[in-house]
Amino acid sequence: MRFACHAQPTTIDPVSLLAVGTVAFDTVHTPFRTAERILGGSATYITLAARLFVDAPRLVAVVGHDFPESCISLLRDRKIDLAGLEVNPTEKTFFWEGRYHYNMNDRDTLDTQLNVLATFDPKLPASYRSTRVVCLGNLQPQVQQQVLDQVESPDLVVCDTMNFWIDSALDELKKTLARIDVLIINDEEARQLADHTNLVVASRIIRAMGPKTLIIKKGEHGAMLFKDDHVFWAPALPLEEIQDPTGAGDTFMGGFAGYLACEGTYTFDSFKRAVLCGTALASFVVGQFGPEALYDLTPEDVQGRLDRLTTLAHVPAVDAIGARMV
Ligand code: AMP
């Protein structure tokens, strides 16, 4: 699979992507190291990944008075469109703290301080309203809906959520789900949302809530894509060095949605290619703490990982098996 964008500008706002989510401070504990108050947040990871496919991805988020100019410059220097980043002068930035288990996959949330998020009332700049691909990153489902209310008939709406919102805002989350095209969640969240242990059955139950396409992330075991009667599975790249899995899901979403915005078609085959792009992007972010690994990524880096991924998943046809069997 070649890493290239051949989308033809056919609409007034071609190849455009918007991400609403958190821009956060994270404190991350792994069994080997702790990193305190580093840059994080779902919108941060999504836009940093999507920028490899889309010029100036648009960010919708709020930060507080404690958010440093250096972090704003860092995003601006990477051509993230910050017209939709609000600074709340009276509140602190969203804060999340988590601890990973020894398997570096499961984690416990130790602290979530909504701060600025508690009163966030997003107002989209006029230039954002005709965005073609909308990423509803992980945050309150009500805020996700407020953003959808302000975009004019996007081509594709991709959404993420997590157990925090399934537990605390299920009714609102169901209203969001009724308005989206693709939901991306992990296996534990899928079981919780569907209230069913079997992921194939859960995928049917969740798709009946609204999204025609569901992606279930399974950490180091890859990701499953469900659409109509089709199922696709992409492995994760086997990596020796995992420093910090935080943001892997958001990065996956940015790569997935960014690729689709750039290809401009939404068939099952294009979704499969997008899953590989999401997987490739996520494989970088886990190698360093926070979003650092995304800062200076190049298309060549991404192509290298895509090549490894396609080799990993390629199986020469096993035909005439009957002739070999006893
Ligand atoms: P991921 O590892 O892909 O699930 O994303 C982790 C990122 O999501 C971290 O940078 C956190 O700041 C952010 N985050 C954690 N909890 C929440 C929450 N309840 N709502 C929105 N963002 C969150």
283 C-alpha vs ligand 1 centroid, how far in Å?
18
311 C-alpha vs ligand 1 centroid, how far in Å?
31
Test site for ligand 1: of 246, 253, 279, 285, most ligand atoms within 8 A of the Cβ: 246
Q: Are 59 and 85 in contact, with CB atoms under 8 Å apart?
A: yes
- The CB of 24 under 6 Å from ligand 1? The reply is yes
Q: How far apart are CA 236 and CA 189, in angstroms?
A: 19
Q: How far apart are CA 235 and CA 313, in angstroms?
A: 7
Q: How far apart are CA 232 and CA 223, in angstroms?
A: 8
- The CB of 271 under 6 Å from ligand 1? The reply is no
Read off the pLDDT of residues 95-153 as tens digits, 9 standing for 90 and up. Answer: 999 999 999 989 999 999 999 999 999 999 999 999 999 999 999 999 999 999 999 99
pLDDT of residue 321: 81
Q: How far apart are CA 134 and CA 147, in angstroms?
A: 9
63 C-alpha vs ligand 1 centroid, how far in Å?
14
Q: Are 156 and 65 in contact, with CB atoms under 8 Å apart?
A: no
For residue 6, pLDDT over 60 is answered with no
Decide: residue 7, CB within 10 A, 0-12 exposed, 13-18 middle, 19+ buried: middle
Token digits for 152? 């004019």
Is the four-CA dihedral 290, 129, 174, 197 of positive or negative sign? Answer: negative
pTM for the full predicted model: 0.94
Read off the pLDDT of residues 182-204 as tens digits, 9 standing for 90 and up. Answer: 999 999 999 999 999 999 999 99
> How far lies 155's CA from each of 43, 53, 189, 260, 265, in Å?
20, 16, 26, 10, 9
- The CB of 26 under 6 Å from ligand 1? The reply is yes
